[in-house]
Copies of this chain bind each other. A is one copy, B any other.
Amino acid sequence: MIERLDIHSAGIPVLCRACEARHRGVCGALDPDQLVALAKTSSKHRVTSGAELIGDMEAVDGFSNILSGVVKLTKTLSDGREQIVGLQFAPDFLGRPFREESALTAQAATDVSLCSFPRATIEGMLKRSPGLEHRLLEQTLRELDEARDWMVTLGRKTAGEKVASFLMLIATYIDPEFDPRSGSAVFDLPLTRAEIADFLGLTIETVSRQLTKLKADKVIEIENNRRITVENIERLRFRAGL
């Protein structure tokens, strides 16, 4: 394949060619010139599970696109109680323009690869490129919807429904070939039991019990504590409280 003849790649930085963020993510709002400018100051890198991306220790300053992996956003009460307030998957945009992050920590839940840019680059582009801001608004609206859905789960669902809801959520984001009508899904949990508990407002023991109950009821299978198989997604959805 001769790159210079490929109209779709014309003028697009090598760094960005295969990047999902260019299609579904915020970079989709940029024209080739802007991509080139952005690519000059951007860098790909990987971090391992547990690394802190935003928070007290600013491991990664500025902003990033998530290229792969799962990032968890947590809030901590002064006495140590924790709540995960969001999960981000590729190609989500990570970082908050126009505002110092509130008391929020972003941590890699799995190994994660990122494409990062300095704060100034993005903020400059936001000013000049309304399309970029529009994408950001769309992502923010989506996150707001997700946060509100989760508020219902936290406030009004039982432990069993919470765990089932969590599995539904992961299935839709993670299963490589998830097809809602296929009726089944297989995926690896990106979180430990303790993290799931922090996401659901439960304890580790309750999460464990509910998972074994789902297994006992043949709604899911569990391999190696991590790999989940859902035979019939509809049964799981039902257990999630619809």
Contacts and interface: CB of A to CB of B under 8 A. Distances in A.
Given A130-B130, A156-B82, A156-B201, A147 B140 contact: no
A137 interface: yes
A149 B83 CA distance: 10
Interface residues of A, number: 40
A85 B242 contact: no
A77 B141 contact: no
A147 B151 contact: yes
A149 B241 contact: no
Given A136-B137, A144-B147, A152 B242 contact: no
Interface string A47-90: 00000000000000000000000000101011101110110000
Nearest to A76: B152
Interface of A: 73, 75, 77-79, 81-83, 85-86, 96, 98-99, 102, 104, 130, 133-134, 136-138, 140-141, 143-145, 147-152, 154-157, 200-201, 241-242
